[in-house]
Amino acid sequence: MAPTKVIPTSKELQHLDLHDPHTQELIQRAQESDAADRKLTVVQALAKYKIAVFWALFLSTSLIMEGYDLVIITSFYGQTQFRERFGEFDPKTQQKQISPSWQSGLSNSSLVGQLFGLVANAFFQDRFGARYTMMFFMAWMAVMITIPVLAPSLPILAWGEAMCGVSWGVFQTLSTTYACEVVPTILRPYVTAYVCMCWGAGILLSSGVVRAVADVEGDMGWRLPFILQWVWPLPLFIGAYFAPESPWNAVRRGKPELAKKSLTRLRKNTPERESEVEATLAYLQHTTALEESESENASFLECFRGTNLWRTEINCVVWAAQILGGNALVAYGVTFLQAAGFSEIQSLNLNISLSACYIVGGLISWVLFPHLGRATLYMSGLTFLFFANIAIGGLGFAEGNEHAQLAIGIILVVSNLVNMVTVGPVCYPIVAETPSGRLRYKTIVIGRFVYNLTGLVEHTLTPRMISPLGWNWGAKAGLFYAGTNLLCNLWCWFRLPETKDRTFGEIDVLFENRIPARKFKYTKVDQFAQGSSEKIDQIDTKEDGA
């Protein structure tokens, strides 16, 4: 019987002598894996890693539920059945309305739950892996859906939204990190952008459901959309059970055998598979060992020390800019359009078009990813949204003008489409690629935490801006978000680096050597060089576009 091959953990690799022949062999294998990864085209990578792509896309489907509920609850503020059940009479409109305070309360309740879910995911995924974390919180979700379905009052409905939000907070970061860790570099932007498309698919589905139940009388008009959420937990629970674990996660937890098993399952069965798995495992261990030497304890505090602080800053601002860039108005599409002068049915119909942009825009972004950088797409999208918000805000002064109403609707749809080609999907590869591997879950959790806090502020201010019971700004709210958009875009110019076509190891070296954001794109990196000064070579110091 052949002796069992002992695979060293990344912790053991950290203390190995770089001149030791065995260590040199591992580093050589890591170089082979990195070189092979770079030679793949998109088509070749899809053929070779189709199983990995399948599991990345499958687990990302969990975010459909979050996108679904996000727009369900905000669409209900403009739905007659929901307003008749829970609203208060407004003398101005001679109709029942959901007060701005309760609009904020209901929308914010799920965000508060998500904050707890984000923290829970950082703990569970680091200790138990993606599969078991997904399974546990899918079961949690199946139970908690009962609360909003049977809610007799707004406080109970808000409590149910918060409890469901815990699961959504987990899925937000788990789906992104899992997707980027199981596929090669060239496929990362596609699978992470798909996470955004799933979120958009949920929004589109909810818009269609709310429109379909517009004629359903009584409480079933708003209960039925909640009931439909029970479609998702069981198949996703079963899928998570059979899914392979993230090999990066397994290596970080000191389980190289599990990582090897996952790597074998994630790629096509070829004669070269075993040697390729060995080389990839060596690369994962080599990169993890380097990261552990920089942040051995991997605590949340490490995210705010040294160059990790910049990485955390990028995650926070890139997430928050999704809201502050102007997309906040789309989240309140139905009530915003009604405030701009559209009827209930017109606003529901147009909301479907707004939601369809999430899918169409995501597909277009896939075409652009091979040709344009992450920072270029992100900043271009923010620039377009800035002018769109200026236009919407200006048209808000033409109250009662039908042509102005039509123009607002068209601009809102076009700006949402551009947003979902650029800012929306590009955010996901940026936040997945910029953290160090050891701190990836925690950094993304912090960034998403800031996103949800920004959402709390947005859900507090936006209803008051556009509601007739609040400040009654209507479309003029676009001017406010034009201002926040400008601040975000200025930050991007100076602080957002370009990570297109970079491996995780190269990105680590660039941050460790404190390469300025504008020079990331033009700096040559050899992550396998022994000395820090030998790892980088700024072959071009141009500081034009990212």
Task: For the chain of 546 residues, list the mean pLDDT of each consecutive stretch of 10.
Answer: 41 47 62 67 84 88 79 76 80 76 82 86 85 93 91 90 89 82 82 80 81 80 87 90 89 86 84 77 75 64 88 94 80 63 70 76 85 90 92 80 75 83 88 83 86 82 73 81 93 91 81 84 70 50 41
Is pTM, for the whole model, over 0.85? no
Asked: is 34-533 a CATH 1.20.1250.20 domain? The reply is yes
**What are the sequence ranges of the domains in the chain?**
34-533
Nearest to 435 by CA among 423, 446, 420, 450: 446
| Amino acid, res. 102 | W
Residue 381's pLDDT is: 93
Residue 184 near residue 49, CB atoms below 8 Å: yes
Can you give the pLDDT at residue 321?
A: 92
Q: Is 540 exposed, middle or buried, given 0-12, 13-18 or 19+ CB atoms closer than 10 A? A: exposed
- Among all chains, which residue has been given the structure tokens 């792509």? 53
Query: What's the confidence (pLDDT) of residue 383?
Result: 94
Cβ atoms of 118 and 452 within 8 Å: the answer is: yes
End-to-end CA distance of the chain: 56
Beta partners for 97?
88
> How far is 544 from 546, CA to CA, in rounded Å?
7
**Cβ–Cβ under 8 Å, residues 74 and 100:** no
Given a contact cutoff of 8 angstroms between Cβ atoms, the answer to whether 263 and 161 are in contact is no
Question: What does the block give as tokens for 139?
Answer: 């079961």
Indicate the length of the chain as a whole number. 546
- The predicted pLDDT at position 5 comes to 42
Which pLDDT does position 451 carry in this prediction? Answer: 87
Give the pLDDT confidence score for residue 546 in this predicted structure: 39
CB 122 within 8 A of CB 303: no
**pLDDT the model gives residue 462:** 78
Looking at this protein, which amino acid is placed at residue 236? Answer: L
